[in-house]
Amino acid sequence: MTVGNSANDTVIHPSLVEDIVSSMHQSEDTSSSGEFETQSSSAITLSNPIGTTHLLPVLDLAQLQAPRAWNSKFTSFLLAFGFKTTLSDSSLFVKIDDRDDKGRLTYFLGLQIQYNSDGSLLVAQLKYAKELLKKTRMENCKPTSTPSKPHFQLLVAEGNPLADPTHYMSLVRALQYLTFTHPDIAHLVNVVCQYMTHPTDLHMHLVKRIMRYLQGTLECGLKYTKTHDFNIAAYFDSDWAVDINTRRSITGFVVFLGFNPVSWQSKKQATVSRSYTEAEYNALAHCAVDVYWIRSLLKDVSQFIPTPPKLHYDNLFALALYSPIQYFIL
């Protein structure tokens, strides 16, 4: 069954149409004739495979209810099969059973898992990266040793606008998925994502530089080793007012479980920090939130870590701000 208007078409499963229309009846007032009151002339067409078509003059907001209805239907489906929602993430469902081992996982959603003789794992995205280079016709490009020139930044409106920005958007979205096994490009990918609205030729040059770096690091990935150290340690830092467009600071952190990285991020802070200490303290708070989420996630899968996590950073002023208040007599 298809729900569509003159602008686009959205495919909706037949079982969801009743839920969507029912929710609209509950949220929208009806007129005396029983039809929905509309605020625009657009309409949504419901058609089934047989060919019967119904035209419902409804609000444009109706299409936005399809994802919510699908999430409700999918959640009830998983719960019926014995899955449980986790407290740490409402979109994560866990089911622990005694099924037999189905064998080693070697490929999953573009992630390639290689098993080494010492018991370690290598997680890489070699095939995905090669397909991306081939898609952009850069499979024979000259590799570079760094994903960007040092201290190289661009303004949002710098350069000539691209005639077709969709190609730029497609490449940046693909690079975002590569950060799952390439933390070394996390910062640069975050930077080029900020130019998605109005990309220029100079912004595309940054993206191609990242592609050239990937050409030289295709075989690289993340190595996970066996360890008895099941503690959480995080390393974080900030770069104060480094963004030349907004003067916001950048937060970067990586979280280890034992000796293995499990979470990392490079992100522009939400507010402008008026001092270096404030930028460092915001980074501390952001990293602490991620560490708490990881501890909660492990607890949801019955892995409780009694040892407090360790957060490593190098700013004494932020440490003093975090410590209990000290009084000085002048």
CB-count burial class (<10 Å; 0-12, 13-18, 19+) for 274: exposed
What gap in Å lies between CA 318 and CA 202, rounded to an integer? 37
Q: Which residues contact 50 (CB under 8 A, 6 or more apart)?
A: none
Q: What is the pLDDT of residues 67-101, one digit of tens each?
A: 777 788 888 888 888 888 888 888 888 877 766 66
Q: What is the pLDDT of residue 306?
A: 82
What gap in Å lies between CA 129 and CA 178, rounded to an integer? 8
Q: What is the pLDDT of residue 302?
A: 82
More confident site: 319 or 129: 129
Residue 15, pLDDT > 80, answer no
Q: What is the pLDDT of residues 96-134, one digit of tens each?
A: 776 666 778 888 888 889 998 888 899 999 999 999 999
Mean pLDDT of 319-327: 59
Confidence of residue 20 (pLDDT cuts 50, 70, 90): low
Q: What is the pLDDT of residue 319?
A: 67
* Residue 60: half-sphere exposure toward Cβ, Cα within 13 Å: 7
- The strand order across the sheet containing 232-239 reads 260-268, 250-257, 232-239, 310-312
Residue 210, pLDDT > 90, answer yes
Q: What is the pLDDT of residues 36-47, one digit of tens each?
A: 343 444 444 444
Confidence of residue 324 (pLDDT cuts 50, 70, 90): low
Mean pLDDT of 208-229: 89
Of residues 37, 96, 85, the one with CA closest to residue 62: 37
Q: What is the pLDDT of residue 4?
A: 41
Confidence of residue 330 (pLDDT cuts 50, 70, 90): very low
Q: What is the pLDDT of residue 55?
A: 41
Q: What is the pLDDT of residue 13?
A: 53
Residue 59, pLDDT > 80, answer no
Domains of the chain plus CATH, in order, are: 2-71 (no CATH), 107-216 (no CATH), 228-322 (3.30.420.10)
What's the whole-number average pLDDT of the chain? 78
Question: Which helix (H) or strand (E) segment is 256 a member of?
Answer: strand 250-257
Q: What is the pLDDT of residues 230-282, one digit of tens each?
A: 889 999 888 888 888 888 888 889 999 988 999 998 888 888 988 888 888 88
Q: What is the pLDDT of residue 19?
A: 55
Mean pLDDT of 162-186: 90
